[in-house]
Structure 1
Amino acid sequence: MELLEQYLQFKQEADQGENKKNKTKKEKDPMKPKQPVSAFFLFSNERRAALLAENKNVLEVAKIAGEEWKNMTEKQKGPYEKIAKKNKEKYMQEMEAYKQNKDEEAMNLKKEEEELMKFQKQEALQLLKKKEKTENIIKKTKEQRQKKQQQNVDPNKPKKPASSFLLFSKETRQSLVHENPGINSSTLTAMISVKWKELNQEEKQIWNCKAAEAMGAYKKELEEYNKSVAAAT
């Protein structure tokens, strides 16, 4: 039965080409050496054609070949075993070369990936340097523009007055610092904001009026300043 099963397996492999369209096969590496058949398969393949010519069916061919092989002497099996051994040695050599090539391919692939990662890292560093350089240029340009603007500011030009909240903040800050020695800046700012929100409309109106008076005086001063600048030019 074991020989019969081996033969049927061999027959199935031989007929795979005909049934390829109807079966889903796992994709195999075409470069991988094909495993050689045993001495019995060599004998069965040789006998198969003759037995089929005698109108024997597959099962009969397998049974007859198996019985014949079982009854053959070692001397009769010798040629088939010699060929099978030679084929196996050749297969082992081819597999060794195949594995070596696969190892080399894997090594080369790993090397390429490492080089790619190295290149990407270098490229990323270059981009980072360019970004830092651009940011430094923008920062320097902004500082130069601000410095130029400060240099061009006329010290005689009236300064814009503070808003109602800033006026309130300035006065309230002094009292809070006096009442809370050692208070930090963030806490102080928060307390001023809270006190401003707690003011009613009438209380806020006082500060709004002060800011409005300061703004009115500023506009008059600015108008006089602009006239003097125009007269000078």
Structure 2
Amino acid sequence: MPRAAKEPIASKKKAKDPNAPKKPCGAYMWFCKEMREAVKADNPGASVTDIGRRLGELWKEANEEEKRKFHKLADEDKERYNRENARYTMRAKAQ
């Protein structure tokens, strides 16, 4: 007996609005953005997993003074997101 063709499962996810503001990055992500190229240069044959592992080790080794810069960047990015999101929601309500 042939199997019946399965109907595609309807997506339960709401489609993302391409005009919505981009979410803010955390301090660790700002750290990774800055350090990734240096880690790749120090470890030319390393895989993506190895680079990520090394970045995590460097983040753990960093003291609060070193991390403060990245926390400041994260705070600024969060403020940017809040401003853009407020503007976006006001436009959405107006429509």
- State the AA in 1 paired with 2:16: V
Larger radius of gyration: 1
Q: Distance in 1 between matches of 2:24 and 2:41?
A: 25
- State the AA in 2 paired with 1:200: N
Tell me whether 1:180 sits opposite 2:43 in the alignment: yes
- 1:178 deviation in Å? 2.0
Deviations 1:157-213 (A, max 9, x none): 101111100111122112111222121122111110110011111111110010000
Which gives a bigger RCO, structure 1 or 2 (Cα 8 Å, sep 6+)?
A: 2
Residue of structure 2 in register with 1:205 after alignment: 68
| TM superposition score normalised by structure 2 | 0.83
- 1:145 deviation in Å? 2.5
Residue-pair matches, total: 90
Residue of structure 2 in register with 1:144 after alignment: 11
- Structure 1: gaps spanning 5 or more residues: 1-139
Query: Which runs of structure 1 show a deviation greater than 2 angstroms over 4 or more consecutive aligned residues?
Result: 143-146
What secondary structure does 2:45 align onto? coil
What secondary structure does 2:12 align onto? helix
The 5 A counterparts of 1:1-233 are: 141=9, 144-146=11-13, 149=14, 152-232=15-95
- State the AA in 2 paired with 1:160: K
Answer 1 or 2: which has greater helix percent. 1
